[in-house]
Amino acid sequence: MPHLIVEASAVQAVLKSLKPLAKPGRAGDGSFTLSSEMLQLRWAGGEFEFDATGDMHDRQVTVLLAEAMMLKLAGVLPKKGEIRVSVAGDRLILGTMSLPCAVVAEAAPHLLSVNANALEVALLPYRHDRDVIERSGAGRLVEEVERKRTRAIAAAANTLAWLEIDEDLLGTWVEAHLTAKGRGEKTFRVGLIVANAVGQVELFPK
């Protein structure tokens, strides 16, 4: 589940600083925004950001927690250690507590720059889950580039057919190449070719 982990002491310090302003009927609902490496809290006229670890799976979601709940938070949250924060349906999970909330917005993830090239699009499935790609609106672009890749491999295999290089061989290399680039590693290069006991050829990267 997408989640963040924040320091309890940092959250408690903010809630303590807001105590003079957080009066019933005046403080209002609290807004929590969960995004990559950051938890943002807006409440009682203040806006605060907490450094966070965890993995939001490229999601950004904002929820509202009722004023009555916010007024009690400082007293029920741990004062030390870490707090795991996540959103499950209409519940805000803070550590071991599951609190009713209202989901205000879930922003579509931005995966591509405006001038992204075909390679950057081709690498998306090697860097992000398919559902994240679909939510970003890049699903159709990825499908188009994958069709382009299939056509390019077929054309290259046709050109190299006289060397007995077929689509399967080229496709395997391209898959390994994109997998490596998607991980930020050096591209796949053949360093050693070994025939195993059943006559299959195994390729080992340098």
Q: 3-class DSSP state for residue 29?
A: coil
pLDDT of residue 203: 54
Exposure string of 55-91, with b = 16+ CB inside 10 Å and e = fewer, is: ebebbbbbbbbebebbbebbeeeeeeeebebbbeeee
The answer to pTM > 0.95 is: no
Q: Which span out of 127-131, 147-151, 183-187 was modeled with the highest average pLDDT?
A: 147-151
Amino acid at 117: N
Domains defined for the chain, CATH in brackets: 3-107 (3.10.150.10), 118-205 (no CATH)
Give pLDDT tens digits for 159-168: 999 999 999 9
Amino acid at 31: S
Q: What percentage of residues in the chain have a pLDDT greater than 70?
A: 86
pLDDT at 6 over 90: yes
Q: Please indicate whether residue 204 or residue 67 has the higher confidence score (pLDDT).
A: 67
Band of pLDDT at residue 134, cut at 50, 70 and 90:
confident
The residues near 124 (Cβ < 8 Å, ≥ 6 apart) are 111, 112, 133, 138, 142
